[in-house]
Structure 1
Amino acid sequence: MPPGDGPGVARPSAHAQERSGDSGTERLNRFLARAGVASRRAADQLISSGSVRVNGKRPPATGLEIDPDQDTVTVDGRLVKPPSKHRYVMLNKPLGVITTSRDESARTTVLDVIGQEGLLGHRLFPVGRLDADSTGLLLLTDDGDVAYRLTHPRYKVDKEYVVTVAGVPRSNELKALREGVKLDDGMTAPAEVEMMRATTGARDSGRAELRVVIREGRQRQVRRMVEAIGHKVLGLRRTSFGPLRLGRLKTGGWRVLSSGEVIALRRATGLDVT
């Protein structure tokens, strides 16, 4: 038995080899990161702490190469399923960040925010529009089928926004948003609109916070809808996209979607989940 090994420590096997470059194998920390368990650094900590098991045994703290199709990996007793061949990353986009893969003016893009750890060797692209003045949920993926269906009007995928506006919209203005307003590129489809809160100021007309749900994806659509009823947008944040919810993800933070979220996305767009 090699020095330092014990009966409860995983050693290289036919499928899990402490080597690189072999077909079908990858580092354990990379596998855990791709599966959405944790970042590579956090995965290393999980491995060192003893939370991870490979084929029922504790892997060495120095790491291990595994075969995702053959080896069984658990974290705190829970099975980690091999990740999809595609990668899905949810970002809480900060203000001023450009929703594009690259920018000729060297402005900060969403890919700059998630960095190489977020990309993990994949060529991700943002799904749908979220302009520089807007914040909130943005999906990045290399799954073209999911991206196409999420953004195509035919599939009627809900996109929810919290919009802060100058002034307090009247009931007839809210009704107009719900029924559709005329923009320069045509009438909008009916939207769900709810007044969440409103305040009136002594020196101005106050402000209001609206929840708006649309099923289209025109450029700067929600902003233009609100401006069409005579109110300026002070802030716009996307809080959900189809079955995805922003939740408590901090501004500038990102995470890999869980397998359940990926399945929900595919179901929402009518794609096979097997």
Structure 2
Amino acid sequence: MERLQKYMAQCGVGSRRKCEEYIEAGSVKVNGEVVRELGTKIDPETDIVEYQGRVIKQEENKVYILLNKPPKYITTVQDEMDRPKVMDLLTDVQERVFPVGRLDWGTEGLLLLTNDGELAHILTHPSFKVEKEYHALVPGKVDDHQLEQLRTGIMLDDGITHPAKVKRLKTEGKKTWLAISIHEGRNRQVRRMCAAIGHPVIQLKRVRLGGLTGDKLKVGEYKFLTEEEINLLLGKGGYKKEK
């Protein structure tokens, strides 16, 4: 027996956290009945699981795609307003994949897309402490006290942030580039942290996921990752793809 949200993640529906949201919203059926209980267990061999009216099964081929997201693209699979979305950039991907985490409309940089829900869970859950590094251009000069505020934690409307790694990169006239590394995944977190110290973000890009950078990826380009690169992404040497 297996927890429903874990099975859905293994089928490539989304991360475990996202699958829990789908269950609570009433979008999931087991053997024809809507299930909203997160503790529900199923037998993958005999039970029929549907998401939004479609029977789901475990993906045979796991794929891992690193995209250098351009600004002005939204990080969703579908969009009712028909805005440019990151999925539009994946021109030769046959498998059904989903974005891991989210970069907002104006943010550029590294984004992982996959059909491996377990890996997505590892990357997005703060308990695994997978670092994401951002370069943020902000107005004005950021003093040492403000840097220390970011490093020790900023009180936001959804609670205090975990300590971040922060340093000045360079100044451009009356603007400053900061390098900020966090392992949380709150909505617009870096932007809110910088605004809280009086330096709202002008430009933001994500330059590192775990131990993986996309130095050779031009904006809008993507590549398929190897298992070795996935281990580098996680900063550890033992991730095994499920057969």
Q: Report the TM-score, using the length of structure 1 for normalisation.
A: 0.64
Q: Distance in 2 between matches of 1:236 and 1:157?
A: 19
Deviations 1:104-141 (A, max 9, x none): 000011110112x0x22x11000011001100000000
After TM superposition, list the pairs within 5 Å mapping 1:27-46 onto structure 2: none
In structure 2, runs of 5+ residues without a counterpart are 1-59
Amino acid at match of 1:134: T
Q: Match for residue 25 of structure 2?
A: none
Aligned residue number for residue 212 of structure 1: 180
Give aligned-pair identity as a percent.
44
Change in CA separation of 1:179 and 1:101 when aligned onto 2, cut-off 3 Å: same
CA distance change for structure 1 residues 271 and 140 in 2, over 3 Å: closer, same or farther? same
Moved over 6 A (4+): none
2:81 corresponds to 1:110: no
Residues 183 and 124 of structure 1, relative CA distance in 2, 3 Å threshold: same
Cα offsets for 1:184-219 (capped at 9, x unmatched): 00000000001000133xxxxx10000000010000
User: Are residue 130 (structure 1) and residue 103 (structure 2) matched?
Assistant: yes
Greater Rg over alpha carbons, structure: 1
CA distance in 1: counterparts of 2:222 and 2:102, whole angstroms: 17
Task: For residue 150 of structure 1, report the CA deviation from its aligned partner.
Answer: 0.3
The alignment partner of 1:163 has SS state of strand
Corresponding pairs, count: 183
Which stretches in structure 1 are left out of the alignment for 5+ residues? 1-83, 201-205
1:89 aligns with 2:65: yes
Match of 2:136 in 1: 163
Mapped contact 2:132–2:209 kept (Cα < 8 A)? yes
Structure 2 length as normaliser, TM-score? 0.71
Change (3 A) 1:270 1:156: farther
Which letter maps to 1:251? V
SS in 2 for 1:165: strand
Distance 2:212 2:230 in 1: 9
Deviation at 1:177, TM superposition (A): 0.3
**Aligned position for 1:232:** 200
Change (3 A) 1:183 1:265: same
Q: Find the counterpart in structure 1 of residue 39 from structure 2.
A: none
Matched position secondary structure for 1:239: strand
Alignment of 1:148-227 (within 5 A): 148-200=121-173, 206-227=174-195
